[in-house]
Amino acid sequence: MNLLERFLTYVKIDTQSDPNVDTCPSTLKQKNLGNLLVEELKSLGVSNAYMDEHGYVYGLIPSNSKKPITPIGFIAHMDTSPDAPGAGVNPRIIKAYDGGVIQLNETLSMDPAKFTALNYVVGQDLVVTDGHTLLGADDKAGVAEIMTMVEIMTLHPFEHGDIYIGFTPDEEIGRGADLFNLNFFKAKFAYTADGSLIGGIEYENFNAASAKVSFIGKSIHPGASKNKMINAQHLAFEFHSLLPVFDNPAYTEGYEGFNHLSNMEGSVEEAKLGYIIRNHDMVKFNKQKEDFKRVVRYMNEKYGYEAVSLTITDSYFNMLEVLKYDMSPVELAKQAIQNVGLTPHSEAIRGGTDGARLTFMGLPCPNLGTGGFNFHGRYEFASIQQMEQAVDVMVEIIKLISKG
C-alpha cells in the first residue's frame, strides 16, 4: 500500500476511545487497527512487531551500521476522539483544492473565511469527511506516515541506527502513555507524529488537570421548601459563577489558560460538574487549581456543611520543562524540515500529546506536523501532499542522526 491507501484504510476502522471506561484499551475495537498494523509491520520485515494485551503496538528496525548511532523512535496514536461520531467514516478526495467553499453534505460546508486552515492547502489534494463523522486524521495521518517511513527504511534501506516504532491506544482520553513499555522502547528520544501544519515542531504544551466537583443538596417537597431546600443543581450553578469569568476557553488563545466545563449532571439531591484545567505556565496552572479549592471552602462555610467536594487529578505537564535542558531533538527536527525544503515553525500546543507524558517518563518526545487539520470533528481534513512531506521529514531525521 502507498501512503494514501494506508490512510484511507485506517480511517475506515472505528477506533474511538471511551473516557467512561477504565480498561486499557478503553475500547477493544482499537485492537482491530493494532492487529492490522502488526501484520503490516511484519510484512515489511519488522519481524519483532507485536501488540501487547493493552493494545500498544511496538516494533524495532534494528541498526544496520557498524558504528554507534543514537537510537530514536516515532510514535502515533491509534484512537480517535469521542467528541464526534467515529464509525462509518466515508472519506472523499478533493483534487487540487481551489480555495472555495467545500460542501461536505446537504447541510454542512467548510468556508475558508471561517475554517482558515483551508488557506494553507490551496492547490493541494485533500481528504475530507462526508459531514457525518470525524475523519480520523488525528492521528491516523501520523500512523500512516510512520508506516510509510517504515516501508522506506525496510525496503530501501540506508545506514541507520535502531529505529523504534510505537502506536498507542487511548491518547484522546489522556491515557496513551499510561502503560507505554519503555523497557522495549529504548530510544534516546522520539517524536510523536500528532501535529497539524507540515513543518511544525512543537515542544510546548499545556499543563493539564481534570476536576470533578460534587454537590450534595437537601431535598424536600417544593410546596414546603421555604428555608429548607438546598438544590444541588443551584449549588453547581453558584460554584461555576464563582470561578474567574474570563478563564472560559471561549475567551482565550495562545498562551492563555482556561477552565473548561466539559460535562454536568444533576438532580435536587446531587449534582456533578466536570472540568479540565489548562495553562502553559505552571504558576498560573497552580493558581487555577487553587481557585477551585477556594470556592469549595467558601461554599462549605456559607452553607454550614460539606455541600461541595472536589477531586483534582493532574493529567500531564508542559514538556518544555524537560526539553529546555537539551533541545537537540528539536534542533534536529528543525534541520530536517529545512533540508526537505520547508520552513520550520513552532507554536505552543493548546492541548497535549502522548509525548508530553513520555517526556516526563524519561523519553524526550517533541511533536511533528502531519498535514491534518480541524481535529475532533466533522470538518476534519488532511492534505495528501503535506502527509507525503511528513514522511520526508521523518526519513531526513533518520539520515541526520545517522551522520552523527
DSSP 147-199: HHHHHHHHHS--S---EEEEEES-GGGT-TTTT--TTT---SEEEEE--SSTT
CB 130 within 8 A of CB 24: no
365 pLDDT higher than 90:
yes
Mean pLDDT of 104-112: 96
Q: CATH 3.40.630.10: which residues of the chain?
A: 3-205+318-403
Residue 31 pLDDT class (50, 70, 90 cuts):
very high
- Candidates 119, 166, 181, 157; CA nearest to 373 is 119
Q: Are 175 and 315 in contact (CB under 8 A)?
A: no
Residues of the chain with CATH 3.30.70.360: 207-315
pLDDT confidence of residue 196: 95
Q: Which three cell numbers stand for residue 363?
A: 523519553
pLDDT at 404: 78
pLDDT of 59 over the 90 cut: yes
Q: Does 351 have pLDDT greater than 90? A: no
Mean residue pLDDT of the chain comes to 96
pLDDT of 353: 83
pLDDT given for residue 90 in this prediction: 97
User: How large is the C-alpha radius of gyration of the chain?
Assistant: 23
Residues with catalytic function: 79, 171
Identify the CATH number of the domain defined by range 3-205+318-403: 3.40.630.10
Instruction: Return the pLDDT at 178.
Output: 93
Question: How confident is the model over 254-304, as pLDDT tens digits?
Answer: 999 999 999 999 999 999 999 999 999 999 999 999 999 999 999 999 999
Q: Does the pLDDT of residue 352 top 90, yes or no?
A: no
The rounded distance, in Å, linking the Cα atoms of 358 and 366 is: 10
Using an 8 Å Cβ cutoff, are 367 and 195 in contact? yes
DSSP state of 205: B
How much is the pLDDT for 315? Answer: 87
Task: Tell which residue, 130, 157, 257, 261, has the closest CA to residue 205.
Answer: 257
How much is the average pLDDT of 10-21? Answer: 96
Q: Which residues pair with 76 in a beta bridge?
A: 167
Task: Determine the pLDDT at residue 306.
Answer: 98
CA 199 to each of CA 316, 335, 358, 370: distance values in angstroms, whole numbers, following the listed order: 25, 10, 22, 8
Q: Is the pLDDT reported for residue 247 higher than 90?
A: yes
Taking residue 400's Cβ as centre, other Cβ atoms within 10 Å add up to 14
pLDDT digits (tens, 9 = 90+) for 376-404: 999 999 999 999 999 999 999 999 999 97
> Amino acid identity, residue 159?
E
CA dist., res. 339 & res. 299, Å (int)? 58
Distance between CA atoms of residues 25 and 82, nearest Å: 14
Instruction: Please state, as a whole number, how many other Cβ atoms lie within 10 Å of the Cβ of residue 268.
Output: 17
Q: What is the pLDDT of residues 206-223, one digit of tens each?
A: 999 999 999 999 999 999
pLDDT of residue 379: 97
Greatest CA separation for the chain: 85
Q: Kindly tell me if the per-residue pLDDT of 146 is higher than 90.
A: yes
Report whether pLDDT(205) > 90. yes
How far apart, in whole angstroms, are the C-alpha atoms of residue 248 and residue 237?
15
| Confidence (pTM) | 0.89
Residue 399 pLDDT: 98
Q: How far is CA 278 from CA 73, 74, 197, 282, 313, in A?
A: 28, 26, 23, 10, 12
Q: What is the mean pLDDT of residues 337-351?
A: 95
- Position 152 scores a pLDDT of 97
| % of the chain at pLDDT higher than 90 | 97
Identify the CA nearest to 193 among candidates 12, 10, 28, 27.
10
pLDDT band, very low/low/confident/very high, at 174 (cuts 50, 70, 90): confident
Best CATH choice for the domain 207-315 from the list 3.30.70.360, 3.20.80.10, 1.10.357.10, 3.40.640.10: 3.30.70.360
pLDDT of 45 strictly over 90: yes
Residue 15's nearest CA partner among 83, 90, 82, 76 is 82
Segment 143-171 shows an average pLDDT of 97
* Strand-strand pairing, 201-202 and 258-266: unpaired
Which residues partner with 50 through β-bridges?
Answer: 58
Q: In the prediction, which pLDDT does 370 show?
A: 98
